[in-house]
Amino acid sequence: MRYIGGHVSISGGLPHAIENTVKIGGNCLQIFAGSPRLWFRKPFPDAEVKTFLSGMKQNNFGPVFIHALYLVNLASQNIELLEKSIASLVIDIQNGARISSAGVIVHIGSHMGAGFASVKDQLVAVIQRILGETQDCDLILENAAGQNGKIG
């Protein structure tokens, strides 16, 4: 089976992603698990997960992906920003596992001019930590064009 879909809104609740995908004739989808520009993340409500999974099955949908918020920077030297990045990704991956997501896609971040070599060990440790705190959903590292110290 071939899959086609899009990045659809969950505004109004997670099950709306199914409706929005059906409207465009899709059979797979990508969502943000919350606003892509706000740190706030929370677990999906159980009732919404149940309805979403039922809709996925009923519509014979293929993979679903979650895109992490844009604020994440796994290479940040700012500890507060780094911890927020980790916490938001952990919640996104946990949500992904609950909805049988094929993975959570994340932009790795930027070394902010410090150079990749200076953040490489931190990146490895942070990714290992995130994977150690989650299960049943992959973390997908999205590539970047390298502008402004972006990694990937």
For residue 39, is it left (φ>0), alpha (ψ between -120 and 50) or beta?
Answer: alpha
Q: Sketch out the chain's domains with CATH numbers.
A: 5-151 (3.20.20.150)
pLDDT on residue 146: 62
Asked if residue 151 has pLDDT above 90, the reply is no
Under 8 Å CB-to-CB from 3, ≥6 apart: which residues?
Answer: 27, 28, 62, 63
For 84-113, what is the mean pLDDT?
A: 96
Nearest to 137 by CA among 107, 105, 101: 101
d(C-alpha 95, C-alpha 39), whole Å = 15
Asked if residue 150 has pLDDT above 90, the reply is no
User: Over the stretch 118-136, which tens digit does the pLDDT of each residue have?
Assistant: 999 999 999 999 999 999 9
d(C-alpha 28, C-alpha 2), whole Å = 10
Under 8 Å CB-to-CB from 84, ≥6 apart: which residues?
Answer: 39, 71
CB hemisphere CA count around 96 (13 angstroms)? 30
Nearest to 2 by CA among 58, 56, 57, 60: 60
